[in-house]
Amino acid sequence: MARILITSAIPYINGIKHLGNLVGSQLPADLFARFNRAMGHEVMFICATDEHGTPAELAAAKANKPVEIYCAEMHQVQKRLADSFRLSFDHFGRSSSQRNHKLTQHFAGKLAENGYIAEVLEKQIFSIDDNRFLPDRYITGTCPNCGYTMARGDQCENCTKQLDPTDLINPRSSISGSTNLEVRETKHLYLRQRSLKDKLEAWIDSKTDWPILTTSIAKKWLNDGEGLQDRGITRDLAWGIPVKKGDQPWPGMEGKVFYVWFDAPIEYIAATAEWADARGLDDAAWERWWRTDKGAADVTYYEFMGKDNVPFHTLSFPATILGSGEPWKLVDYLKSFNYLNYDGGQFSTSQGRGVFMDQALSILPADYWRWWLLSHAPETSDSEFTWENFQASVNKDLADVLGNLVSRVTKFARSKFGDTLPAGGSFGPQEIALIADLGARIRDYEALMAQIEIRKAAAELRAIWVAGNEYLQAAAPWTVVKTDPERAQAIVRLALNLIRVYAILSAPFIPDAAQTMMTALKTDDWAWPKDASAALRALPAGHGFSVPENLFRKITDEERADWQQRFSGIRS
């Protein structure tokens, strides 16, 4: 049994996430966690809400709520939606937790002790009318690169160029709209990433099995242009983790907080500690996942995220870990994703364009979305959600191939042989051929899942469903029963066992449908089908079953047209 640590990029607290956010980190991480649990491994699957920084403060101000109250409420909203999408986190934490306060301050203190923190006097924009410095997203202006007039102080949403607030043309306060701004000096802490470049480069070079997307982004940030840069880790904000060296004050840093991108990844560790706290366990329970001197040396650590998060997880967070000089676990495999675009354009949180998690669940259950998103995951290039493709995938894959098989088999079996598996007949050449085919396909499916080749794994799973349908069409028990009822009983007995195998294999993708299949078969035996022959005989003659409701319904053309119109513009 292996020990598998999985973290999904933690979502910003400011609002409900769209389907592009979901498929870029949390959903594929859940798929991998479910698969590894099914294989019998010990899994720790961690996520949290990212609650600090300007996005949180601005969203709270827009909602006219204190930031602490806003974050607490939105954490519950995001947790509820994660549960509704069946994301099987072992713990869904909060970056504002006291555990993260202590750990972030601890890392900062260790980095300072080791000479990796510099105090830098820099120039920042100060709003005279607001009487405060305006970091990052507190400033809006015209992008010097593309001319977009609503660029933020950290990045232009239009051309994606990273910016400093002082780069903006005609800057204005995002709080008040005031242009009564001036540049003032303020002191901040910088993580001396350039001093860690050789260690980071050697570590990245050792990851020869990483996806090309991950490695190419990491090396681009490491070497392109001026190469790796020192990075500010503090901000002039009220909401955040106070700047301290461990538990000691940091002279000259009074009133400042750590920058969100410094404390957010540390929350992976902190959330695991929160998991232990919630269960009344001691520190050894979480340290065995994160400290290589306390049991984590045999852990394999996987991270899942969109490509925009890769630089921080291949450079900044590892720099924090390496610079601390302590035996913390570094990521072993970083699975990154391209973008999911929306119906001829882009998902846009600010414009409300696309389908958001709460809206998706108001239309159809989670499994419909899970299947489409995972089977179209943007692994090697950007992919696009279109309503036509979604409708076709649901109707053909889920309703016609899987759902139809389950319905046909259970209804026919009950009508001809009652509510238990029939005992007659024995397996013949067709059954033996199917067992051999499925045995090989299941091994291929396992390998693809273990390699996190998500689209290929989904295609293999669908091929396994198709193989069952092709067998039924060829065996034709509805015809055979008229002339050879014993033979028909053997076909039905295998087909009902096949439904159980499909439930187990499909559970990582479509857990609710898988549970419905298992409930119909009146079994809780989720043992992975290592031996296809034994698995297709697991439910014996006389074992009871029931006919489930249709697993999946088809999407009509009228529904598709209505949804396409409804989600084309401003979110209501």
pLDDT tens-digit series, residues 481-513: 999 999 999 999 999 999 999 999 999 999 999
Residue 125 φ then ψ, to 5°? -80, 135
pLDDT of 174: 86
Mean pLDDT for 34-61 is 94
pLDDT of 44: 98
Q: Which pair of structure tokens corresponds to residue 112?
A: 């300072």
Mean pLDDT for 307-332 is 96
Structure confidence at residue 113 as a pLDDT band (50, 70, 90): very high
Mean residue pLDDT of the chain comes to: 94
pLDDT of 200: 96
353 DSSP 8-state letter? B
Residue 415's H or E segment, with its range, is: helix 404-417
Instruction: Give per-residue pLDDT as tens, 370-395.
Output: 999 999 999 999 999 999 999 999 99
Cα separation, 162 vs 157, whole angstroms: 9
Distances (CA, A) of 465 to 408, 443, 470, 505: 14, 15, 9, 10
Flag whether pLDDT at 400 surpasses 60.
yes
CB 28 within 8 A of CB 337: yes
pLDDT of 98: 98
Among the listed residues 501, 517, 526, the one whose alpha carbon sits nearest the alpha carbon of residue 551: 517
Among the listed residues 310, 124, 130, 125, the one whose alpha carbon sits nearest the alpha carbon of residue 216: 310
Cα separation, 380 vs 110, whole angstroms: 38
Alpha-carbon Rg for the chain in angstroms = 27
Q: Provide the angle, in degrees to the nearest 10, between the axes of the packed helices 317-324 and 197-205.
A: 110
CB 177 within 8 A of CB 168: no
Residue 181 φ then ψ, to 5°? -120, 155
Structure confidence at residue 572 as a pLDDT band (50, 70, 90): very low
Mean pLDDT for 34-55 is 96
Flag whether pLDDT at 144 surpasses 70.
yes
- Exposed, middle or buried: residue 430 (CB in 10 Å: 0-12, 13-18, 19+)? middle
Specify which residues 544 forms β-bridges with: 420
CB 305 within 8 A of CB 25: yes
Q: Which pair of structure tokens corresponds to residue 95?
A: 């970056």
Instruction: Give per-residue pLDDT as tens, 533-554.
Output: 999 999 999 999 999 989 999 9
CB 81 within 8 A of CB 358: yes
Instruction: Give per-residue pLDDT as tens, 155-191.
Output: 887 887 878 888 899 999 988 899 999 999 999 999 9
Cα separation, 296 vs 268, whole angstroms: 14
Among the listed residues 199, 552, 220, the one whose alpha carbon sits nearest the alpha carbon of residue 403: 552
Distances (CA, A) of 358 to 228, 319, 498: 39, 36, 34
Percentage above 90 pLDDT, the chain: 87
Residue 341 φ then ψ, to 5°? -90, 170
pLDDT of 570: 55
Among the listed residues 10, 1, 8, the one whose alpha carbon sits nearest the alpha carbon of residue 88: 8
Distances (CA, A) of 203 to 18, 68, 325, 532: 34, 38, 15, 41
Looking at the chain, how many residues does it have? 572
Using left for φ > 0, alpha for ψ between -120 and 50, and beta otherwise, residue 142 falls in beta
From 197-206, 405-414, 461-470, 560-569, the region with the lowest mean pLDDT: 560-569
Instruction: Give per-residue pLDDT as tens, 212-268.
Output: 999 999 999 998 766 789 999 999 988 999 999 999 999 999 999 999 999 999 999
First-to-final CA distance of the chain = 48
Q: Which pair of structure tokens corresponds to residue 351?
A: 């414009």
Buried b (16+ CB within 10 A) or exposed e, 281-305: eeeebbbbbbbeeeebeebebbbbb
CB 327 within 8 A of CB 292: yes
